[in-house]
Structures are given as structure tokens and as C-alpha cells.
Amino acid sequence: MTKSLTRKIIEGHLSEGSFDPGKEISLKIDQTLTQDATGTLAALEFEALGLDRVRTEVSVSYVDHNILQTDFKNPDDHRFLRSFAARYGLWFSPPGNGICHQLHALCFGRPGATLLGSDSHTPHGGGLGMLAMGAGGLDVAAAMAGVPFSLPCPRVLGVRLTGSLPPWVGAKDVILELLRRLTVKGGVGLVLEYFGPGVESLNVYQRTAITNMGAELGATGSIFPSDEQTRIFLAEQGREEVWQPLAADPGCDYDRIEEIDLSALEPLVACPSSPDAVRPAAELTGVPVEQVIMGSCGGGSYWDLMILAAAMKGKRPAPGVSLAVNPGSRQALAQIAANGALGELLEAGVRLHQAGCLGCIGMSQAPATGVASVRTFPRNFPGRSGTKDDQVYLCGPQVAAATALAGHIADPRELGPAPVVPPAPPVRPNAMAAPPADGSGIQVLRGPNIAPFPELEELPEDLSCTVTLKVGDNITTDHIMPAGSQILPLRSNVPAISRFVFAAVDESFADRTQSVGSAVVVGGENYGQGSSREHAALAPRYLGVRVKIVKGFARIHRANLINFGVIPLVLADPADYDRLDEGQVIEFPGLRSALLEGAQDYEARLEGRPLALVIQASQRERDILAAGGRLNYIRKML
């Protein structure tokens, strides 16, 4: 039987189940990563399991989101993560070293491995031939403990690439083209596997930029074969020994295939405020822009920065345009310094920021009121920049450079000959700290912002819940649990951060929900898309949300809800959405028994009338929900 690369890796890591799309499987996880916005909670969860050391090939704690130190909260948490890593056997990457996804590809990624990260852009690693997946922090903490990761077996969408990219067209245009075709929910339940003769024309920097934004499709992962381009990249990092050639079998069957002729692509832009609102840059010429930012995990590599430097050489941004760079890694910054490109960027008037997520997570670099901002970031959800009613456009470095020079969105093909990016200089500065051989005597340092993990009670037999919020389609985790400089520093303090649940949608939500005892939230399609942040599940549960009733869930958020004992129910008839409203009381008789007995069809009572719902959960997930959450479940299992 001929097999896809995805299937080969999955079958090589199966601990339970078989490759049967839609059925639950469990996979051995080789590597994990956490970042500080999610990692503090994952660390507390791992500690609660009572183990002495992580049980993976490699686990890394990165600090890249909350790197601003405006008061004690962030530095206290950085110290906590550093001491936690040393105590339990993780590598530690301090603030300013770079963004987890770029650093992990540079330092640890290897073809054929499984990687689980508490960040939704973990599929970045798929550009190296890894099966890299995002998950909630509790799933990652469990993987660090050696517990297999369970998920529905994905289907595989083959993306056949032909041709090669034209001048001034880049990797970001490839993934924006897929978002234009498939939308932000078009990848749900899928791994996107790239193949075909066009693959060999893309280097690993370009491949990871493509797999990174597969998260915006809702995909489980994205993956490229491991080939000569992969070997060259790993050799440049001094890690050629981990290289191995990996590819799908010729003529293997995919669930379906998308064809992209790279040579037919043009520069593209995602318009406010969704990554799938994609239009050609040529159609947007003339949209005035006052801010351009180059950076983020999908747009701050050596390759990206060199394109900007070449375009800006001897020039300056248009009057009134702020052009900023936050490199993806300390290494990329050192490399453009070594070949002189950094000096050229500084001469061009670029504002240089430290290596980290920064503006992508709303942590500084917010745009002014009412002005357009063009960014090489992966997301432009409403208000994510830190500015209400923002106008954020997403693009590759080519369009960003042309826009900075023109003062409006511009087609880079008008700039003349495209730059040729030279090989990266052989400099690899890195502040990564290796764990000691024995960390048992190390004290984990805790600041006052780190609150004890809340106790979550088991599910009772019956529930009576009040609807405290009704929302529409494509609600993101940014809607549920906002990011930004005010909120993210509270990530290790669940009682404090819970005050901001749905704050951008309804400021009274937290008080109203906590006052009713047990609550239910109602939503539409693709509920919970976007970030993997588990606070979007845990903080509502802390407030008393026990059930969510929607038309459909995004994968990671649904898993996070189950992890914290929030029952995810789907409307049997989507038309019943119109019957539901805030303030109504819904009775859930015998819900615990229905879960444990494997019922799929379930009837709740909406103010005395039947409400048909569907329980879409494996037996393992049902047991977790009955236990009140996965932490309770794992404690019993271990």
C-alpha cells in the first residue's frame, strides 16, 4: 500500500488506534514546546502530576510573548519558568532569544518527529518534515509526562505544487492563496501535505512560513517532505546528523488534492479582519498606510529580513510611515548584522525591536486610531493588535517593503529586479540554557502573581444552567480570552485573568456568569478558532461555565474545553440556535450517565421544551468530562 508522509509518521508513533480518519488515535510525542503565555499554566499542571522529570526526547520552555517587563509580573514568571525548566529537565530560552517556532526549527526540529506545542502555530515545524501540532497546555503537560496525545485521526489534503515562485512573490502568498480558497475553517480535521515538483524550489525558511499559517485554516498540521533543502538547512545549523530523507510514496492516495502553480501566483494581502479575506495587492494599491511591521514567527526569519533589507537599501520609508522590525530570533538578527544588512536597515530608519512576538500578540506596536497597519504576521483578528477597531493587513515581506516605500499598499513587482538572498552567515548566537543532569535539588521560584491551580469538581448527574452569553460564527479565542499587555501578564493567576473573559464582547460577562452558579454559552460555527490558549476554556470554567452549545467547534478549543470539564455540545438542528437566548435556563437531566453510557443523541430541556443536542466525544473524553477535567483524570491514571 502506498502511503502519505503524514500516515507514515502517524503509524510510526501510534500507541492506540489505527490510521482511520475521524476515529480517535493516541500518538507518542517526541518533543514538546511551551511559551510563556501558556507555559506557566502548563508548568503548574505538570507539577500537579507529581513527576520528577519530563519523559520526552526534548522539551523546551520558551519566553517570547510577555517579554516586556513593565512591572513584577512578567519577570517573576520568567524566573519561575527558568527554575521550573532546570528542576524538571527542560531546555530554557530566555526573553529576547527569539520566538519559539523559529527557534525550535533552528535548534531542535528533526524530520519524522512528532512535536506538540502549547501554541497554535506549532505546525511551523512541519516545514522540516515533522508532524507538529498545537494543543492546550494541559495536553502538552501530559505529553511531557509521557502520556500519549489523543486526537481524531486526521484526513490528509495533498497540496501539489508545480512551477516556481515569480520575482517578488513569496511563501506567504502560497498560504494566503490557500486561505482564499479554503477559508479559516477549510482545514479543520486535516493535515495539509505538500508535494509535487514545485516543492524542491522552496527552502526551509519558505516552507516553515507556509506551514506556520496552516493554523489559520484550522488544520491539525501541515508538512513538507524532508529532502536536500532540509539537509542544507540542518547543515547550516550544525545539525546535519538528524537529517533523513522522508516523503510520501509515489502515487499515494490523498483524501483530496489542491493544485497550486507557483509560477501563476501574485502578491496577496489578507484584509481586515480575517486571514482569509484575501485580495491581490494590485487591487489594494492606494490604501494609505502609517505602520509597517516585519516580524513574528511566520515573518521574521533571516530570509524575510534580507528581502526587506535589499528593498530598503539606500532608501527610506515614505513620510509618515513607521517601519519596524522584530526579528524572529537572536540568530537572524546576528546574521543580518554579520553581512551588513542590519546597518542598511538602520540607515533606512527602521525601528528595531527585540526578538519576540510583540505586536502579533498585542504586546506593544499597537497602531494609531483609524490608520492601516501592514504586517507580516499570521493573524489579524479584530483588536488583536491592541487597538480597538484596528485595520490590520497581512502580507509577505515583499508587499511590506513596497508598502513602506510607497506609503500605501503597493505591488512589489513595481520595484524593479527582485533581490537575491545570499546564504546565511555561519553565526548562531543562542542564549538557550540546557537542563542539568539532575534537577531534584533545585527550588522552583514563585512570585506573588502565580496563584494555585483551581480545584475542579466532578460532573454531577444533573445540571441546570443559565445562558449568560450568545455569540455568532467564527468566535476566536481572542474574543473569549483577550491577549494584550494588560491581560497576558495575568496568565498564571486564573482568578485574576478570569475577570477578562469575553470582555471585548460583553464587559458584564464575568460578573453575570459568576452570579448564576452554573452557566452555558451559546455559539455558532467554528467556535473557538485561533490561538491554543487554554485560558479560553479554564477561565470560563472558573467563572461557572459548565456547558457550551454551538453549531460547530474548532479542534484545539474543543479539546481544551474537555480538558477542563466544560461539556461541548452541538445542536442537532442548527435552526434551534434561533430558539436560544441570554437569560434562559436549560436543564441537563442525567447528563453524567448519558456521557458515561456513550449516548450520542441527548435531549436537554429549554424552559420545559425539548432541545436536541449531540454529544460528539470518545469514551476517553467522556471519562475526562465526568471526572471534571483531564488533570483529575490523569491523577487517577498515574
DSSP per residue over 2-62, as a string? ---HHHHHHHHHEEES-S-TTSEEEE---EEEEEHHHHHHHHHHHHHTT-SS--SSEEEEE
Over range 554-583, report the average pLDDT.
95
Torsion angle defined by CA atoms of residues 579, 580, 585 and 591, in that order, rounded to the nearest 10 degrees: 90
Rounded to whole angstroms, the Cα distance separating 433 from 130 reads 23
- 448 — pLDDT class (breaks 50, 70, 90): confident
450: in domain? no
Q: Are 165 and 265 in contact (CB under 8 A)?
A: yes
* Burial 589-620, CB ≥16 within 10 A → b, else e: eebbebbeeeeeebebebeeeebebebebbee
Residues 296 and 245 in one domain: no
What are the strands of the beta sheet with 256-261, ordered from one edge?
221-223, 190-195, 155-162, 256-261
Domain boundary among 378, 397, 414: 414
- 528 — pLDDT class (breaks 50, 70, 90): very high
Residues 397 and 474 in one domain: no
pLDDT of residue 599: 96
Rounded to whole angstroms, the Cα distance separating 80 from 227 reads 40
pLDDT of residue 388: 87
Residues 347 and 370 in one domain: yes
Domain total of the chain: 3
| 3 state SS of 156 | strand
Rounded to whole angstroms, the Cα distance separating 318 from 314 reads 13
Residues 257 and 283 in one domain: no
> 202 burial class (0-12, 13-18, 19+ CB within 10 angstroms)?
buried
Answer yes or no: is pLDDT of 486 > 80.
no
- Measure CA 598 to chain center: 31
Choose among 585, 598, 459: nearest CA to 522. 585
pLDDT of residue 556: 87
Answer yes or no: is pLDDT of 638 > 70.
no
434: in domain? no
Answer yes or no: is pLDDT of 184 > 70.
yes
Neighbours of 632 (CB within 10 A): 18
More confident residue, 225 or 484: 225
Residues 481 and 347 in one domain: no
Give the E-state strand segments of 318-401 in sequence order: 322-326, 351-352, 372-375, 391-394
Please give the single-letter amino acid code of residue 410: A
Q: Could you give the percent of the chain with pLDDT greater than 90?
A: 84
Residues 250 and 277 in one domain: no
Answer yes or no: is pLDDT of 156 > 90.
yes
Neighbours of 235 (CB within 10 A): 12
Q: Are 75 and 95 in contact (CB under 8 A)?
A: no
pLDDT tens digits, residue range 341-379?
A: 999 999 999 999 999 888 888 778 899 999 999 999 999
pLDDT tens digits, residue range 40-64?
A: 989 998 998 889 999 999 999 999 9
Pairing type for strands 149-152 and 24-27 reads antiparallel
Domain boundary among 230, 264, 298: 264
> 79 burial class (0-12, 13-18, 19+ CB within 10 angstroms)?
middle
Please give the single-letter amino acid code of residue 575: A
Q: What's 535's domain CATH number?
A: 3.20.19.10
Rounded to whole angstroms, the Cα distance separating 69 from 492 reads 16
pLDDT of residue 1: 86
pLDDT of residue 635: 78
538: in domain? yes
Answer yes or no: is pLDDT of 611 > 80.
yes
Rounded to whole angstroms, the Cα distance separating 86 from 435 reads 5
226: in domain? yes
Residue 520 phi, psi (nearest 5): -130, 140
What percentage of the chain's residues is helix, strand, coil (to nearest 5)? 35, 20, 45
Q: Are 305 and 383 in contact (CB under 8 A)?
A: no
pLDDT tens digits, residue range 392-410?
A: 999 999 999 999 999 999 9
432: in domain? no
Residue 372 phi, psi (nearest 5): -85, 140
321: in domain? yes
Residues 214 and 291 in one domain: no
Choose among 186, 171, 196: nearest CA to 259. 196
- What is the average pLDDT score of the chain? 94
Residues 225 and 249 in one domain: yes
Choose among 444, 471, 617: nearest CA to 549. 471
Query: What cell does 374 get?
Result: 501592514
Residues 206 and 342 in one domain: no
Query: What cell does 26 get?
Result: 493516541
pLDDT of residue 600: 96
Residues 399 and 526 in one domain: no
Q: Are 491 and 497 in contact (CB under 8 A)?
A: yes
Q: What's 95's domain CATH number?
A: 3.30.499.10
Residues 256 and 301 in one domain: no
The alpha helices in 426-493, defined as continuous H runs, are 477-480
Q: Are 31 and 118 in contact (CB under 8 A)?
A: no
Rounded to whole angstroms, the Cα distance separating 61 from 66 reads 13
Report the range of poorest mean pLDDT among 246-250, 276-280, 531-535.
531-535
Rounded to whole angstroms, the Cα distance separating 334 from 20 reads 46
Which residues form the domain of 342?
Answer: 271-414
442: in domain? no
Neighbours of 257 (CB within 10 A): 14
Rounded to whole angstroms, the Cα distance separating 170 from 207 reads 10
Answer yes or no: is pLDDT of 136 > 90.
no
Q: Which residue shows C-alpha cell 476515529?
A: 23
What is the sign of the dihedral through the CA atoms of 255, 258, 262 and 268?
negative
pLDDT of residue 583: 96
453: in domain? no
- 38 — pLDDT class (breaks 50, 70, 90): confident
Rounded to whole angstroms, the Cα distance separating 46 from 141 reads 5
Rounded to whole angstroms, the Cα distance separating 409 from 391 reads 13
Residues 74 and 214 in one domain: yes
Choose among 93, 24, 80: nearest CA to 47. 80
Domain boundary among 414, 434, 449: 414
From its phi and psi, is residue 183 left (phi > 0), alpha (psi between -120 and 50) or beta? Answer: left
